[in-house]
Structure 1
Amino acid sequence: MTTRIKIVAYLNFLIIILTNQTFGQNALTKEILWTTDWSPNGKYIAIGGNVDSLKIYNKGNLKVHKSIPVKNTITRIKWHPTKNIIAVTTQMSEEKSFIFNLETNEKIELNDISPEGARGLDWNFTGEYLGIADNDGQILIYDSKGELLRKFVNQVNSTKGITALDWHPKKNVITTVSDKIRFFDIEGNLLKSIKHRQEDVLLLSIAWHNAGDFFVTGDYGDEKDKSLLQYWNEQGELIKTIDISKGEYRNLAWNPKGDRLASASDALRIWDTSGNLISVGNSNDYLWGVSWNEKGNRIITSSMEQRIILWNKKAKRIKTLE
């Protein structure tokens, strides 16, 4: 074999190897898991994102209990506080947001939401009402059977999307976050509007404390302005601002007892009611979804690179699903 033939053969071999490596990398492409929520009875964990399905996992072994096809992106998941049904919002999808009954497999589509989808979602404290905040700046209130009761706008003459919505835990008052924090009564009357910082930075997350006397928000931050975690009293007065995160605060969740807050960003962080950092669980990628179990001794997170991690209440890893 001549030297030239040997070189050509070697180059062909390299091409085959590199092609196979590229194929392998593409086959292992990771998708964002936007959201997770632990069922109130503690039996199931729901997870969704850019993976074309809503997956319900068993709590013990993290094996898939049920998989419901959902094309493109699931942005948020919320279990009903007392029933075995789950509400789901979508975007960039031909499928509408919906309510799914795990016992009957009934799927109820939610009408009148923006074609651009929605990201804000929460049941009120009784489970009588479901609030959705969409990507055109609309707030929609449904009953538990998916009937639209009323619809109103987050901001007059604006279609700016809403990133999150949370009901007050003891009143029928809705709080939304986007460019500002806004409070509405159930009739759609604007009660208050707050600019959370001097810079124009998008808010991403909100979590009312179980007692209803204060709430916490998390924002996006940017290259020059750090992401902020902020504690507010019930009247919307700022109590504390924290800027230690290296990533945006995608989601926040209080444990059932109400003495610990979990935040999902560049790491899992556990805070107390005064905003003191208690524990940190490091992550190889950004965390997006976060939820506690009913006992408050386990946390589930979902991530930007499709990882599902089970943690204990001190942010120590127990199990990881890649």
Structure 2
Amino acid sequence: MTRQIKILTFLNFLILVFYNQTFAQHTTTKEILWTTDWSHNGKYIAIGGNVDTLNIYTEGNLKLYKSFPVKNTITRIKWHPLMNVVAVTTQMSDEKSFIFNLETNEKIELNGISSEGARGVDWNYTGEYLAIGDNNGQVLLFNTKGELIRKFFNEINYTKGITAIAWHPKKNILTTVTDKIRFIDLDGNLIKSIQHRPENVMLLSIAWHKSGDFFVTGDYGDEKDKSLLQYWNEQGELIKSIDISKGEYRNLAWNPKGDRLASASDALRIWDTKGNLISTGNSKDYLWGVSWNEKGNRIITSSMEQKIILWNKKAKRIITIE
């Protein structure tokens, strides 16, 4: 359903998000599960979306462990790399994005984010900094206590919403995606800006490889429903483009070993470091969230029609919750 409208003018980005959600809600009884993430120790899986709750499941049997009310849309979830602390971004909600400590049940609101909400979130490689990319084009840096360290716009006179943000795995350099790929330092200086394809197409996801030698992006697709998965080297030079998917690439995730990439789109696909397709897990609806466990032998996905699926590393289904 989200593929029926292609808006190439990014000043209308927030209108697109509102339309997609409203249209989906009026044509199905299911709600979108936007995002999922597996905790660093493999014990917990966090899932959120348009279901007005943040749900924490235990790994293995996918039993609900804790549930917390969060009005309207959770756009992304990211666990801290060392602690049982999860960062949550929201949009179209009176509730601010926040950090939640699973052990103490402490919830810390993140101040300074645009009232339009945010979709980009990532902890840096040491867990010292949390970066948020919001829907007004701001990049905000917080510490683990949720205190705002600094805030800057992604680019001078830049007003487009940031759809995803990622830290370099070994350096304190940020990469944001929306209409372009942008590299930014901790002071907000633009290092490089890259137009990822000739068409004016919105990017939705980014995943750095653990080596720091390259990263992968996924986009929304053009008017011909051609969505690109693209491999880039560390300098931002294009290595490979793949147009196999008919659905947008909502999220990407590397396994802990770094030899397999999982992509969420019209199917679950597993890729190697060269962009070769290894295996495919078919889905009747679009997959939005994707994450690996710490052993790299299980994958969790969330979908547009409120399905949660546990897969093995070869994209074979183990458990489905509808």
Deviation at 1:177, TM superposition (A): 0.1
Deviation at 1:225, TM superposition (A): 5.4
Q: Equivalences for 1:213-292 in 2 at 5 Å? A: 213-224=213-224, 226-292=226-292
Gaps of 5+ in 2: 1-24
CA deviations over 1:110-167 (Å, ceiling 9, x no partner): 0010000000000000000000000000000000100000001112113110000000
CA deviations over 1:21-43 (Å, ceiling 9, x no partner): xxxx99x8100000000001000
Deviation at 1:222, TM superposition (A): 2.5
Is it true that 1:87 corresponds to 2:71 in the alignment?
no
In the alignment, the residues of structure 2 paired with residue 84 and residue 227 of structure 1 have an alpha-carbon distance, to the nearest angstrom, of: 35
In the alignment, the residues of structure 1 paired with residue 225 and residue 90 of structure 2 have an alpha-carbon distance, to the nearest angstrom, of: 29
**Contact 2:74 2:88 (8 Å CA) reproduced:** yes
CA deviations over 1:226-258 (Å, ceiling 9, x no partner): 100000000000000000001000000000000
Paired residue type of 1:63: K
In the alignment, the residues of structure 2 paired with residue 133 and residue 86 of structure 1 have an alpha-carbon distance, to the nearest angstrom, of: 16
TM-score (norm 1): 0.91
Any idea what SS the aligned residue of 1:187 has?
coil
**Counterpart in 2 of 1:304?**
304
**Counterpart in 2 of 1:203?**
203
In the alignment, the residues of structure 1 paired with residue 60 and residue 66 of structure 2 have an alpha-carbon distance, to the nearest angstrom, of: 15
In the alignment, the residues of structure 2 paired with residue 151 and residue 115 of structure 1 have an alpha-carbon distance, to the nearest angstrom, of: 15
In the alignment, the residues of structure 2 paired with residue 249 and residue 58 of structure 1 have an alpha-carbon distance, to the nearest angstrom, of: 26
**Counterpart in 2 of 1:212?**
212
Paired residue type of 1:76: R
Gaps of 5+ in 1: 1-24
Deviation at 1:224, TM superposition (A): 2.1
In the alignment, the residues of structure 2 paired with residue 209 and residue 160 of structure 1 have an alpha-carbon distance, to the nearest angstrom, of: 26
In the alignment, the residues of structure 2 paired with residue 80 and residue 228 of structure 1 have an alpha-carbon distance, to the nearest angstrom, of: 29
Any idea what SS the aligned residue of 2:127 has?
coil
Q: Equivalences for 1:1-322 in 2 at 5 Å? A: 29-224=29-224, 226-322=226-322
Deviation at 1:187, TM superposition (A): 1.2
Deviation at 1:285, TM superposition (A): 0.1
Identity percentage over the alignment? Answer: 82
In the alignment, the residues of structure 2 paired with residue 168 and residue 222 of structure 1 have an alpha-carbon distance, to the nearest angstrom, of: 28
In the alignment, the residues of structure 1 paired with residue 171 and residue 158 of structure 2 have an alpha-carbon distance, to the nearest angstrom, of: 27
Greater shift, 224-233 or 74-83, is seen at: 224-233
TM-score (norm 2): 0.91
Aligned length: 298
Any idea what SS the aligned residue of 1:62 has?
coil
* Cα RMSD after superposing both structures: 1.3
In the alignment, the residues of structure 2 paired with residue 191 and residue 160 of structure 1 have an alpha-carbon distance, to the nearest angstrom, of: 18
- The structure having more radius of gyration, on CA atoms, is 1
Any idea what SS the aligned residue of 2:212 has?
coil
In the alignment, the residues of structure 1 paired with residue 128 and residue 29 of structure 2 have an alpha-carbon distance, to the nearest angstrom, of: 40
CA deviations over 1:233-290 (Å, ceiling 9, x no partner): 0000000000000100000000000000000000000000000000000001000000
In the alignment, the residues of structure 2 paired with residue 225 and residue 197 of structure 1 have an alpha-carbon distance, to the nearest angstrom, of: 14
Paired residue type of 1:309: I
**Contact 2:138 2:154 (8 Å CA) reproduced:** yes
**Contact 2:225 2:247 (8 Å CA) reproduced:** no
